[in-house]
Structure 1
């Protein structure tokens, strides 16, 4: 898959394309049905399968929705899509200027003239153009004059995608990792940079890597303790992760994401790592003493290792 960061960088002399358009946040099971349809259709017609997505999320720009929480960072989304054998992922910067393109300008200039679309696979409820004033019937009409086909994704499939996204977000906020992962069809991931912490965990036998996620729009699951895995230096390591305020040792003033990797030795400071969340162990608690916390962490580790072994 070739990732292109701006529509203008797409080579005009390239192959004709089959395109779908959307945010595809999570790239979950519902999305994958649409993407499989796109990829198969492209192969059968000799076209190049292409996903057109936008960043920042349009709500961040048009509604100034700084509280929006997404399942993937843009980098994570590209990583997942890359595994699906798409030909092109185009991530176009979404701006107010871009949002003001008329439906004609968007279809004629962007989709047809620039991206060489010969087939567009899109949901029945898709709206586009300035003020979102054009719909799929308008797109079909454009296709008849600009020589491209439109394949409509029916209501039940689009509704299933919407329900899946909502269920995944709600599940993560409730700490229900099993449900979220089942809808995603992969383990929910957190990607960030390891930053130096206070070193409190090391003092009582559970050194932790402090994960800093710069993308504030990334959805963080409910506070608690989780079983995780990560690939570090091409080797897979398991561990347990705490999301929360560490009330027993730090007074609970600042939220953090801390991972205790089993059997790992080395310096992770300033390294970028990705953590897959496999299972939720328990809520975060404030213990009466550090000794009680140590005892609970030992139990958490035994539980994690038993789960991993199975």
Structure 2
């Protein structure tokens, strides 16, 4: 898959089959559209193109609301889309100027003149252009003028999946990673850099990898203890707009490591910052400054305060036994 950091980098195609959207999480509903996209491209001898945006439009149009967190970072989203067999991914910066393009200008300048669209695959409720005035009817109205076809993914097909990115975010924010996995089709994951901690876990016999999530917009699940699976990554970092976007990072480890993750501010020691710590079972390698990916499989319990460190240690022992039963 070829990835472009701006639509201006894209070379117009002769037969582009296109879909457009934010695709946060690349969940089952998104994949229904993307699978149809690649199918039509194959059948017509065209090339499949996804046009997506970064930052997320809501971050630009509603900057006063900083509560929006995304299921996938831009790199993670690109990686998931690549696995679906898409030929081209255009990640164009979403700006105020871009949002002010009229629907017809958007169709003419972006879809036709920049991309070379010959067929558009779109969900029944897709909106675009200034004040979201563009819709399926608008695309159909200009189809003959600009020599493209439009195919709608019917409402019943979208609703059949019964999933939205908002539902997934709500599930994760309540700690319900099992429901999130059902909606996504894969376990939710965090990718981050291992940094030095205060080694408190090691002192209690549970050494942890302290995870730094470099993208501030990445959603982190509710505080608590989770059963997780861990991959050691070759390299993974934030998405700089002035650098190439690299996808398909392979794991260093051939096997999936198992462990338990803690998210919280460590109330027993009056902690002030929110930590993400992972105790990897039967693993003793030095991985500071390395990137790891943590797949969340099960929620075990909420975070809580204990009267002393002995109570905390005893509870962690119980947590580990609960996680072992879940993962093995």
Partner of 2:175: 175
Q: 1:196 to 1:15 in 2, by over 3 A?
A: farther
Once the two structures are superposed, what CA deviation does each residue of 1:152-203 show, in whole Å capped at 9, x if it has no partner? 1222344566743232122112211111101111000111111111111111
Alpha-carbon separation, structure 2, partners of 1:160 and 1:75 = 28
Once the 2 structures are TM-superposed, how far is the Cα of residue 302 of structure 1 from its aligned partner? Answer: 2.1
CA shift digits 1:229-258 (9 cap, x unpaired): 11122242111000111112x313211110
The answer to whether the 8 A contact 2:260-2:320 is kept is: yes
- Aligned partners of 1:30, 1:69: CA distance in 2, in Å? 19
The Cα of 1:261 is off from its aligned counterpart by: 0.7
- In the aligned structure 1, how far is the partner of 2:161 from the partner of 2:130? 25
**2:299 matched residue in structure 1:** 280
Aligned: 1:247 with 2:246? no
Could you tell me how far apart the structure 2 residues matched to 1:269 and 1:218 are? 21
Match of 1:164 in 2: 164
CA distance in 2, matches of 1:20, 1:216: 27
CA RMSD of aligned residues (A): 1.6
Give how far 1:213 is off. Answer: 1.0
* Unaligned runs of at least 5 residues, structure 2: 233-251
SS at match of 2:120: strand
Displacement of 1:89 after TM fit?
A: 1.1
Whole-angstrom CA distance in 1 between matches of 2:306 and 2:33: 48
Q: Provide the C-alpha distance between the structure 2 equivalents of 1:167 and 1:128, rounded to a whole number of angstroms.
A: 22
Indicate conservation of the 8 Å contact 2:224/2:263, yes or no. Answer: yes
Q: Displacement of 1:265 after TM fit?
A: 1.7
Distance 1:164 1:22 in 2: 13
TM-superposed CA distance for 1:103, in Å, is 2.1
How far residue 98 of structure 1 moved from its aligned partner, in angstroms, is: 1.4
Alignment partner, residue 136 of structure 2? 136
Q: TM-score, normalised by structure 1?
A: 0.94
8 Å CA contact 1:31–1:161 kept in 2: the answer is: no
Secondary structure in structure 2 of the residue aligned to 1:227: strand
The range that moved more, 184-193 or 98-107, is: 98-107
Alignment of 1:1-310 (within 5 A): 1-12=1-12, 14-64=13-63, 65-159=65-159, 163-232=163-232, 233-235=252-254, 236-248=256-268, 250-309=269-328
CA distance in 1, matches of 2:66, 2:159: 26
Q: Secondary structure at the match of 2:142?
A: helix
Deviates more, 1:263-272 or 1:29-38: 263-272
Partner SS state of residue 134, structure 2: coil
TM-score, normalised via structure 2 length: 0.89
1:70 Cα offset (Å): 1.3
Q: How many residues align?
A: 307
Q: Gaps spanning 5+ residues in structure 1: where?
A: none
CA shift digits 1:55-103 (9 cap, x unpaired): 0011111111322111111111111111111111111111112112222
Deviates more, 1:233-242 or 1:153-162: 153-162
